[in-house]
A = this chain, B = another copy of it.
Amino acid sequence: MKIAIAQQNYHIGNFAGNTNKIIDAITEAKQKGAALIVFSELAICGYPPRDFLEFEDFIDQCQAALDKIKPHTAGIGVLIGAPDRNPSSKGKRLYNAAYFLHDGETRAVVYKTCLPTYDVFDEYRYFEPAHEWTLVDFQGKKLAVTLCEDIWNLGDNPLYTHCPMDQLIGQQPDIIINLSASPFDYTHVEDRKAIVKRNVLRYHIPLVYCNAVGSQTEIVFDGGSLVMDKHANLVAQLPLFKESLQLITWNEDGSFAEPALQTAAQLPDAELDPLRLEPDLCTAEIKDALVSGIRDYFKKMGFTKAILGSSGGIDSAVTQALAVEALGKENVMAVLLPSAYSSDHSVRDAELLSQRLGNAYEIISIQPVFESLLGVLKKSFGNRPSGLAEENLQSRSRGNILMGLANKFGYVLLNTSNKSELATGYGTLYGDMAGGLGVLGDCYKLQVYALARYINRHTELIPHSIICKPPSAELRPDQLDTDSLPPYEVLDHILYQYIEKRRSPAAIRQLGYEATLVDRVLSMVNTNEYKRNQFCPIIRISPKAFGVGRRMPIVGKYLS
């Protein structure tokens, strides 16, 4: 039996676009002789549809899209994700379902059991978990159809009280098919292989895993769909960060016609869980994820052109290089916004960067705007010494100029703040925190350096002087980040322990950091929720990004 895996990039709520894409894949799979085609979770509407699921009309449109697809299922079995209404009067109103369509009819509907409700996931907000489990019969084979998280609930400490495969295995399935929408983070590419391997070795049947690809605002789906035989040999792997349709041949004896790409012994056994931040971990994949995040944000929002403030520092340099890769140099405008405190080398470095990347740039001094602000505020400010308020005025002058250009010419402003700054509140609301998309907001400063080195791996695109100068906001004479923050080599590791690993102050101190430093850093994190709450969406590359996946009280008093 030939099985096609359709790894596609959907647009949430764009039913016409998604349906056409799905029908195209079915048509192509049929032409190539597939008996069965597998799509990803909630492919019909795109994942995550969030509170659109609460609109009856949205569910009607999902059902209408399925009806449009049905006539194309003559002679081919189609497994596709869509929400289904709960036929019972009890429980949540919907199920997260896999529809099995064949010869124009719905032959089976399978419900998801394990509903991720943590980090960026809110599935129990909408869906009732499955309470019963049945295989799908197709051409003499028994398919154990599961949805994403359904195959992740193994181990000694399962997050859910039911494991659907433990229920299904007694019915003697021939294969596990998993429809996923499983997002990228830098631990996840290996994790995914490990978890598929664990399932195959536990249930002794092959597994076909179909993942979504493409970015949905902050969440990047990386694809990487795969097929493993019952011995945990990898027999197919679809590309990362790219749409792809691939066929495999499942033999009558349960093996695959394709030779193994990797054997069980070459594949990871356990999920990756670094105890410490490894800034160089998966830099290539992180770069691809960020490029995908920028590209799809613009494409799906209907924008083409980006603008950003180019300071001559490393964060804006990396953001600019990524934007040029994602959107093309002709679609990126860099604006150099020097003040009296900007160093000459910053302006020179920023110009050189734009020249090397080939994008347009402008230089606009913020000094007249800053001075006019000081002027109108002079009476109120009186003789008080210059301080943070004046620094913020400069930063907001920049934000104001950038937004003026964005509004006038239809640019989207890219934000260049990194995760270390956002964590500690080292940024100005409506100033350098302005923008429509946070490109580096999930990358610690040390990871930004790793990205810069990676971007320069073939040629020096980012001038060396940008990478090696000491970080500075340049909002007062001779200012350095280290005036306000610990060195990033220390800061990032403490932040990682607190944010990603959720360790206690005591546990972080035990790793060798001074108590007052740990307390100061954690307090900075917790007292700056109010700032991050107003920040734009951040492209997520870690297991714990700021934004929708990290929900902290703004008004609280814990470690603060």
Known: A51-B550, A533-B536. A156 touches B89 (CB 8 A): yes
- A446-463 contacts to B, CB under 8 A, are none
Closest chain B CB from A59 CB (angstroms): 10
Asked if A117 is at the interface (CB within 8 A of a chain B CB), the reply is yes
Q: Which of A104-112, A222-230, A254-262, A391-399 forms contacts with chain B?
A: A391-399
Choose from B56, B89, B301, B430 the contact partner of A434 (Cβ within 8 Å).
B430
Binary contact track A527-560/B, C-beta < 8 Å → 1, others 0? 0001001111100000000001011111111111
A558:B13 contact, CB within 8 angstroms: yes
Closest chain B CB from A416 CB (angstroms): 16
Q: Which of A193-201, A312-320, A343-351, A370-378 forms contacts with chain B?
A: A370-378
- A36-80 contacts to B, CB under 8 A, are 46, 48-52, 54-58, 60-61
Closest chain B CB from A409 CB (angstroms): 8
Known: A91-B160, A125-B117. A50 touches B552 (CB 8 A): yes
CA of A380 to CA of B407 in the docked complex: distance in angstroms? Answer: 12
Asked if A388 is at the interface (CB within 8 A of a chain B CB), the reply is yes
A553 to B, closest residue via Cβ: B12
B556:A11 contact, CB within 8 angstroms: yes
Q: Which of A20-28, A234-242, A269-277, A501-509 forms contacts with chain B?
A: A501-509
Count of A interface residues, CB-CB < 8 Å: 100
B403:A430 contact, CB within 8 angstroms: yes
A413 to B, closest residue via Cβ: B429
- Cβ of A375: which chain B residues have Cβ within 8 Å of it? 368
B537:A536 contact, CB within 8 angstroms: no
CA of A368 to CA of B559 in the docked complex: distance in angstroms? Answer: 43
Asked if A359 is at the interface (CB within 8 A of a chain B CB), the reply is no
B557:A122 contact, CB within 8 angstroms: no
Asked if A212 is at the interface (CB within 8 A of a chain B CB), the reply is no
Known: A12-B558, A217-B553. A389 touches B372 (CB 8 A): no
- Cβ of A297: which chain B residues have Cβ within 8 Å of it? 555
Known: A52-B553, A368-B372, A502-B55. A400 touches B403 (CB 8 A): no
Binary contact track A11-35/B, C-beta < 8 Å → 1, others 0? 1111001000000000000000000
A557 to B, closest residue via Cβ: B14
CA of A393 to CA of B506 in the docked complex: distance in angstroms? Answer: 48
Closest chain B CB from A296 CB (angstroms): 7
- Cβ of A51: which chain B residues have Cβ within 8 Å of it? 550-552
Number of copies of this chain that the complex holds = 2
Known: A56-B504, A430-B399, A504-B55. A217 touches B408 (CB 8 A): no
Closest chain B CB from A216 CB (angstroms): 6
Closest chain B CB from A473 CB (angstroms): 15
Choose from B392, B507, B555 the contact partner of A296 (Cβ within 8 Å).
B555
A377:B393 contact, CB within 8 angstroms: no
- A129-169 contacts to B, CB under 8 A, are 131, 156-161
A553:B50 contact, CB within 8 angstroms: yes
Closest chain B CB from A45 CB (angstroms): 8
A388 to B, closest residue via Cβ: B407
Asked if A124 is at the interface (CB within 8 A of a chain B CB), the reply is yes
Binary contact track A375-390/B, C-beta < 8 Å → 1, others 0? 1110011001001110
Known: A393-B400, A399-B430, A404-B377. A122 touches B551 (CB 8 A): yes
Choose from B158, B376, B555 the contact partner of A300 (Cβ within 8 Å).
B555
CA of A387 to CA of B407 in the docked complex: distance in angstroms? Answer: 9
- Cβ of A397: which chain B residues have Cβ within 8 Å of it? 400
- Cβ of A520: which chain B residues have Cβ within 8 Å of it? none
A369:B364 contact, CB within 8 angstroms: no
Choose from B125, B216, B362, B559 the contact partner of A380 (Cβ within 8 Å).
B362
A17:B536 contact, CB within 8 angstroms: no
Asked if A365 is at the interface (CB within 8 A of a chain B CB), the reply is yes
CA of A558 to CA of B48 in the docked complex: distance in angstroms? Answer: 13
- Cβ of A327: which chain B residues have Cβ within 8 Å of it? none
CA of A163 to CA of B377 in the docked complex: distance in angstroms? Answer: 61
Choose from B368, B384, B553 the contact partner of A48 (Cβ within 8 Å).
B553
Asked if A268 is at the interface (CB within 8 A of a chain B CB), the reply is no
List residues of A whose CB falls within 8 A of some B CB: 11-14, 17, 46, 48-52, 54-58, 60-61, 89-92, 117-118, 122, 124-125, 128, 131, 156-161, 215-217, 296-297, 300-301, 362, 364-366, 368-369, 371-373, 375-377, 380-381, 384, 387-389, 392-393, 396-397, 399-401, 403-405, 407-408, 429-430, 434, 436, 502-507, 530, 533-537, 548, 550-560
6 closest cross-chain pairs (CB), A and B? A13-B558, A57-B504, A372-B372, A389-B407, A430-B430, A14-B557
